[in-house]
Amino acid sequence: MLDEFQYRLYDLKLDACVENSHGFWLDAGEDERVAEIMERRLSEMQRKSTAENEWKQVLKNMHSFFKK
């Protein structure tokens, strides 16, 4: 028996066999949608990491400035 669930709050419903742990079933085109979503999330994570590193450097510079 397949259970339907919404994939990560996106407008994408997938099917999974939860009872016997057989995995996921993808209908036509759903594999492409999942790949697109994953690529977008990777890009967002990289952007977040860059922003965090830049902010860390700003704070470090401010700390050095006030330490003088």
pLDDT tens digit sequence for 44-53: 999 999 999 9
DSSP annotation of 7: S
Looking at per-residue pLDDT, the higher value among 18 and 62 belongs to: 62
**Dist. CA 13–CA 26, nearest whole Å:** 9
The pLDDT value recorded for residue 25 is 87
Choose among 4, 13, 18: nearest CA to 33. Answer: 13
Rounded to a whole number, what is the distance in angstroms from the first to the last CA of the chain? 68
The pLDDT value recorded for residue 41 is 92
Q: Mean of the per-residue pLDDT values for the chain?
A: 90
- 68 has pLDDT over 80: no
The pLDDT value recorded for residue 35 is 94
HSE at residue 12, side-chain half, CA atoms within 13 A, is 19
pTM for this one?
0.61
Ramachandran assignment for 25, one of left (phi > 0), alpha (psi -120 to 50 degrees), beta (any other): beta
